[in-house]
Structure 1
Amino acid sequence: MTEYTIAILGAGIGGLGMAAKLKKEGKSSFVVLEKADAVGGTWRENTYPGAACDVQSHLYWYSFDDQQPDWTRLYAQQPEIRQNVESFVERYDLAPHIRLNAEVNRAEWDHERGRWLIGTTAGEQIVAEVFVGAWGQLNRPSFKGIEGRESFRGASFHSAQWRHDVDLAGKRVAVVGNGASAVQIVPQIAGDVASLTVFQRSANYHVPRMDRAYDQDERQLYRGAARLLESREAFFAEHESWVGAMKLDANPVLDEFYRIARELLETQVPDAELREKLWPDYPLGCKRVLVADDYYPALMRDNVELVTERIAEVVPEGLRTRDGAVHELDVVIYATGFETLSFLGDLEITGRDGRSLRDVWHDGARAYLGTTVSGFPNLFLLYGPNTNLGHNSIILMLECQYDYVLQALRTRAETSAVALDVRREAMHRFNDRLQETLRGTAFAGGCTSWYKTADGHITNNWSGSVGEYQEAMRTFRLDDYEVLQPATA
């Protein structure tokens, strides 16, 4: 049994940033528990062709890092992001705090001693006074109920589990899905395969990416902290101005996004019938708006076909659609996204009075400020419920949470508390207001998305701007927390 003050679950962007902030605060009694054999989170797992960030690289990094990356492109690609993550770990000397191949499957609050008992699949137990969950929202591949996958005679895999041993050249390939991963994959492989069939369930809005490499003069310029900060702040302001596009009510920003998306479609897709298949029938922002320049042109290739008929089942020869047609294939790539609504995967977390977090969240995940949950003392979530965005960089939200956790740690020390537990009424009050505000956003629009449950409870997205979240997180309000002493822990 190993004891720490703080245990962090996950060595992705979220968990590593928290670890670095702890180091900058002079704290050393912490551990980062990672199920895989390397750091990087989503940037370790997603190695598919074309994998890249859809936020500009200058905005997609920690603002507190004294040595900002020397980005080579406007939009960084997966290998560069992963390399910078690994460099970050080295520069902050985080490796001694990271335990790889340590998959956590349970965490239980010890009422008597006021601490978390954290277990791994290997049977180890870690004890920590504070437990920080940084396991992310997009790391549990989903196949959306597609039946018969095991019957397929060819090669098949999820986009987040890319099989680099499968040569696609000259093959009949299917990409199931047309979301954020698919629009990066399709243009990369379309020129190599014999045929490519893209199966679309519902269309997405696309806006131009306009990616490009930075030349050497630009890179030299951005190596200066002042110019890089200026670029970062400009991108931040631009993205913040887009929040109107996430609203249901008509406004100039939303109108402009509709115009840009329609113009891109009409410019790149000359066929009117195909354009209608590619134009969504739900409000912009209800699903993730995609940033892509080359997806539509890829669909124009003679060897690429868009299929909008629903898949009925996987058969040995390929995919059977509901109209009875069998699409014969050699390789099936499932770009079908992730299971997001549970927020837990197989992890079991038990809080006060033996309450299971899975049971508490049975009708949708909720947390106070997306970070703490009543009945689970000293548990802090990073990128938790309602902290996803449709318009800006998630790292900005994470940095608010880092500072909030540090405030909580200081408050805990100042009050000599064993633990802090957010009051149930404070959590419900926050979430009631949040859901009311979310009803006026596109996330509540008439579509099925990974943002919300079947009954319409929006679990994943924040309701407004990053600035509003920063303001909400600026001060740790002790009145909203129960201070637990040894006898009450």
Structure 2
Amino acid sequence: MDQFQDLHLADNERLRHLVDDPFADHPALDKLSPPLTSGDRVKFLIVGAGMGGILNAIRLVQAGFSADQIRIIEVAGGIGGTWYWNRYPGLHCDVEAYIYLPMLEEMGYVPPQKYESAIGIRSYLISMVKKYGLEDKIMFRTQLDGLQWDDSIQAWKADMRTGRGENGQEESILRVNAEFVFLTVGLFPLPQVPKVPGLAGFEGPMFHT
């Protein structure tokens, strides 16, 4: 991986800003009541609000746990994981929707096309969150930095950073205790760019796909 630059760790400020979330409605997010505050103890902490995180949360509710016992943290400004970040025109999933989308029977949903659009998938995931009462259990713009088991309190100590304000750049530190932690961050959680000579000095428009 020596040929790639992790954008979160880039020395160049312009490259580092390629990881900013262009889709987040920061003023609206700032008005939300945070579902987590430092010192909280929760039953279940789920890291990631993509399909895996949402499905794990719903399965817990179906197993008889209360949505109030669940908290989800998500680095992005919204739900969807890869379907939140990838939005180029015409994007569709290359797996049949009847196989790819979970819980179609429970949701009473029939995909409108064989290969569902990215917009349709994201909308479906949002509807799942609403149906199972998880909307206010997700803390957006929040990054997990560390996880350590504490035997004295029989819980995981989760260290995280959460953002507010323009581009979520006003960061604060949180430490939350959780009895169970689900890591559902997917395969590609850290955006990268190739180490192309001169890339950092390029003065034209740049964006990360």
Please give the TM-score of this superposition, normalised by the length of structure 1. 0.31
Q: Deviations over 1:274-332 (max 9, x none)?
A: xxxxxxxxxxxxxxxxxxxxxxxxxxxxxxxxxxxxxxxxxxxxxxxxxxxxxxxxxxx
Q: Deviations over 1:200-257 (max 9, x none)?
A: xxxxxxxxxxxxxxxxxxxxxxxxxxxxxxxxxxxxxxxxxxxxxxxxxxxxxxxxxx
Question: Where in structure 2 are the equivalents of 1:217-296 lying within 5 Å?
Answer: none
SS of the counterpart of 2:94?
Answer: coil
CA shift at 1:124, angstroms? 1.1
SS of the counterpart of 2:173?
Answer: coil
Q: Deviations over 1:56-113 (max 9, x none)?
A: 1111111475124332221111111111111111111111322222222111111322
Paired position in structure 1 for 2:97: 57
For 2:46, the aligned partner's letter is I
Indicate which of 153, 176, 179 corresponds to 1:113: 153
CA shift at 1:143, angstroms? 1.5
Question: Where in structure 2 are the equivalents of 1:81-92 lying within 5 Å?
Answer: 81-92=121-132
CA shift at 1:142, angstroms? 2.0
For 1:142, the aligned partner's letter is Q
RMSD: 1.6
1:67 corresponds to 2:117: no
1:15 corresponds to 2:65: no
For 1:115, the aligned partner's letter is A
Give the distance between the partners of 2:144 and 2:77, measured in 1 at CA: 14
Question: 1:42·1:139 contact (CA, 8 Å) conserved in 2?
Answer: no
Question: 2:48·2:184 contact (CA, 8 Å) conserved in 1?
Answer: yes
Paired position in structure 2 for 1:471: none
Indicate which of 190, 195, 204 corresponds to 1:145: 195
Q: Max radius of gyration: which structure?
A: 1
1:6 corresponds to 2:44: yes
SS of the counterpart of 1:54?
Answer: coil
SS of the counterpart of 1:135?
Answer: coil
Indicate which of 41, 60, 63 corresponds to 2:81: 41
Give the distance between the partners of 2:141 and 2:203, measured in 1 at CA: 32
Give the distance between the partners of 1:148 and 1:69, measured in 2 at CA: 49
Give the structure, 1 or 2, with the largest relative contact order (CA under 8 Å, sep 6 or more): 2
SS of the counterpart of 1:151?
Answer: coil
Q: Deviations over 1:25-57 (max 9, x none)?
A: 111212111122211111111111222211111
| Residues 69/111 of structure 1: CA separation in 2 closer, same or farther (3 Å cut) | same
For 2:60, the aligned partner's letter is L
Give the distance between the partners of 1:112 and 1:43, measured in 2 at CA: 40
For 2:54, the aligned partner's letter is L
For 2:84, the aligned partner's letter is R
CA shift at 1:118, angstroms? 0.7
| Residues 80/139 of structure 1: CA separation in 2 closer, same or farther (3 Å cut) | same
Paired position in structure 2 for 1:97: 137
Paired position in structure 2 for 1:154: 204
Q: Deviations over 1:113-144 (max 9, x none)?
A: 22101111121111111111011112322223
Unaligned runs of 5+ in 2: 1-38, 162-171
SS of the counterpart of 2:176?
Answer: strand
Give the distance between the partners of 1:135 and 1:26, measured in 2 at CA: 24
Give the distance between the partners of 1:68 and 1:137, measured in 2 at CA: 29
Q: Identity, % of aligned pairs?
A: 28
Question: 1:10·1:135 contact (CA, 8 Å) conserved in 2?
Answer: yes
Paired position in structure 1 for 2:179: 129
SS of the counterpart of 2:187?
Answer: coil
Q: Deviations over 1:425-449 (max 9, x none)?
A: xxxxxxxxxxxxxxxxxxxxxxxxx
For 2:62, the aligned partner's letter is K
Question: 2:104·2:110 contact (CA, 8 Å) conserved in 1?
Answer: no
- The count of corresponding residues between Structure 1 and Structure 2 is 159
Please give the TM-score of this superposition, normalised by the length of structure 2. 0.71
Give the distance between the partners of 1:146 and 1:14, measured in 2 at CA: 34
Tell me which stretches of 4 or more aligned residues in structure 1 moved more than 4 Å.
none
